[in-house]
């Protein structure tokens, strides 16, 4: 394997560890609640607190670490992430588990941003979308493998074992970073100023808005997909886990597709995939009452929604090509902000007594709004045949 391949593999492994920690905790919340004598609702703070920390603290941490050498920063952040999971495994009280989760979440956005920039740097701008897709695939692997395995380990050996397992994977990934990622210098004062200027540009604002709307479109129904599949589609509770694995498997395919589309049709891929997402959600709303068709819909939704991840991150790069790190960190936080927003909106709708069908309808509306937001940009074909974002 070429050196660039090893670099991408090391970054993918770290993203897999981070994603597994984010998702696996969902399956052991009842175990934590029972052991630490708190309600399941209270343990939900481990999810909400993590997401909000990623969304709010990520850009700040990225800005504060711009002058740290990139390889050293990657190693340092995965070390902090590992320490957070070790602390959670050792915690004797819920409050300490929450602190541990917040500690781990502090490095989430920054690691993604620096890791994606490093990935693109070793393959070149012409293969930017594919590099982003490879690294982002770690999240899909976390959904397909990490979360189910973490839940299984937690149920068989106790919830603390889940955090120990994540810590071990993180240490192994840190070793890969030390060996496979090339050294690179810190950014200087001029680069720091360029990062800040890029962050306040209108182009970046448009990309971030589209990212938030896209994630609201997905996570308004997806957060409560178990409710939709059991109450509307008629699946047994035991089948939901397999269907979520199908979503993750579709996401792996979508990442590959999205990366290639982002390189070939940089901005057009975003518009096309957003239209496709609205269409898939619309069809899903019509077929969700039919079990087999609903299962196929979950798979296709995984393909389309995850294809948007490299496409949107590639647009964040294009919006600030000369200084992308802080912009990508903000866009990564936007993903988490959209996730949290979709979950909150969906929860309010269900608490209000509305049918789960409404969650899909809101997802369609958000996808359409994101597509409309693309009208705020136009195509500018620049060097290397790349289509960059520019505000009309």
Helix or strand (DSSP H, E) at 89:
helix 70-90
β-sheet bridge partners, residue 389:
379
Residues listed for the chain: 392
Place of tokens 């917040």: 102
More confident residue, 147 or 274: 274
Q: Is the pLDDT of residue 205 over 50?
A: yes
325-351 and 45-64 helices, crossing angle to 10°: 160
Determine whether 312 is exposed, middle or buried from the number of CB atoms within 10 Å of its CB (0-12, 13-18, 19+): buried
Confidence (pLDDT) at 385 = 38
Helix or strand (DSSP H, E) at 268:
helix 266-287
CA-angle at 370, arms to 331 and 319, nearest 5°: 40
Tokens matching residue 46: 């481990």
Tokens matching residue 121: 């740097």
Q: Is the pLDDT of residue 166 over 90?
A: yes
Q: Which residues, at least 6 apart from 353, have a Cβ–Cβ distance to it below 8 Å?
A: none
Confidence (pLDDT) at 11 = 92
Q: Is the pLDDT of residue 332 over 70?
A: yes
Question: Taking residues 312-317, what's their average pLDDT?
Answer: 84
pTM strictly above 0.85 = no
CA 362 to chain centre: 21
d(CA 262, CA 366): 22
State the chain's mean pLDDT as an integer. Answer: 84
pLDDT in tens, 214-268: 999 998 888 788 788 888 999 887 787 788 788 888 988 998 898 888 888 878 8
Q: Is the pLDDT of residue 284 over 60?
A: yes
Alpha helices in 142-236 (DSSP H): 147-157, 159-180, 189-199, 202-222, 225-227
Q: Is the pLDDT of residue 198 over 70?
A: no
Tokens matching residue 67: 């002058």
Question: Taking residues 132-155, what's their average pLDDT?
Answer: 84
* In contact, 19 and 146? CB cutoff 8 Å: yes
CA-angle at 99, arms to 248 and 25, nearest 5°: 25
* In contact, 283 and 297? CB cutoff 8 Å: yes
Confidence (pLDDT) at 209 = 93
Q: Which residues, at least 6 apart from 13, have a Cβ–Cβ distance to it below 8 Å?
A: 138, 169, 172, 173, 176
With CA atoms as reference, report the closest residue to 26 among 169, 109, 150, 160: 150
Tokens matching residue 151: 């839940």
Q: Which residues, at least 6 apart from 157, have a Cβ–Cβ distance to it below 8 Å?
A: none
β-sheet bridge partners, residue 381:
387
- The end-to-end CA distance of the chain, in Å, is 43
Per-residue confidence band for 3, with pLDDT thresholds at 50, 70 and 90: low
Q: Which residues, at least 6 apart from 310, have a Cβ–Cβ distance to it below 8 Å?
A: 129, 130, 132, 133, 136, 255, 258, 259, 262
d(CA 73, CA 334): 22
Per-residue confidence band for 379, with pLDDT thresholds at 50, 70 and 90: very low
β-sheet bridge partners, residue 154:
none
- Identity of the highest mean pLDDT range in 51-55, 119-123, 215-219, 225-229: 215-219
Q: Among the listed ranges 3-12, 100-109, 281-290, 380-389, which one has the minimum average pLDDT value?
A: 380-389
């Amino acid at each position: 394997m070429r050196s660039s391949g090893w670099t991408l593999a090391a970054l993918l492994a770290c993203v897999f560890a981070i994603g597994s920690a984010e998702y696996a905790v969902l399956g052991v919340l009842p175990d934590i609640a029972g052991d630490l004598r708190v309600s399941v609702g209270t343990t939900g703070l481990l999810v909400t607190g993590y997401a909000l920390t990623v969304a709010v603290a990520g850009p700040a941490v990225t800005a504060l670490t711009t002058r740290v050498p990139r390889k050293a920063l990657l190693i340092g952040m995965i070390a902090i992430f590992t320490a957070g999971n070790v602390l959670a495994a050792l915690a004797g009280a819920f409050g300490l588990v929450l602190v541990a989760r917040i500690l781990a979440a502090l490095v989430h956005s920054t690691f993604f941003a620096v890791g994606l920039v490093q990935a693109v740097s070793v393959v070149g701008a012409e293969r930017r979308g594919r590099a982003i897709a490879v690294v982002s695939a770690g999240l899909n692997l976390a959904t397909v493998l990490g979360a189910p395995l973490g839940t299984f380990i937690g149920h068989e050996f106790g919830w603390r074992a889940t955090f120990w397992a994540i810590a071990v994977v993180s240490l192994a990934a840190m070793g890969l970073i030390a060996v496979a990622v090339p050294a690179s210098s810190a950014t200087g004062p001029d680069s720091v100023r360029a990062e800040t200027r890029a962050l306040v540009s209108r182009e970046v604002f448009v990309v971030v808005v589209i990212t938030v709307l896209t994630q609201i479109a997905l996570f308004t129904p997806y957060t409560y997909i178990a409710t939709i599949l059991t109450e509307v589609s008629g699946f047994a509770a035991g089948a939901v886990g397999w269907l979520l694995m199908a979503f993750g498997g579709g996401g792996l395919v979508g990442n590959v597709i999205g990366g290639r589309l982002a390189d070939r049709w940089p901005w057009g891929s975003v518009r096309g995939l957003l239209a496709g997402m609205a269409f898939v959600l619309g069809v899903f709303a019509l077929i969700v009452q039919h079990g087999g068709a609903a299962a196929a819909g979950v798979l296709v939704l995984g393909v389309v929604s995850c294809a948007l991840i490299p496409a949107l991150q590639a647009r964040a790069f294009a919006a600030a090509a000369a200084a992308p790190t802080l912009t990508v960190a903000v866009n990564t936080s936007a993903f988490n902000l959209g996730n949290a927003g979709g979950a909150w909106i969906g929860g309010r709708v269900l608490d209000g007594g509305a049918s789960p069908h409404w969650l899909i309808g809101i997802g369609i509306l958000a996808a359409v709004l994101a597509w409309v937001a693309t009208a705020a940009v136009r195509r500018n074909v620049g060097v290397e045949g790349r289509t960059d974002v520019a505000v009309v």
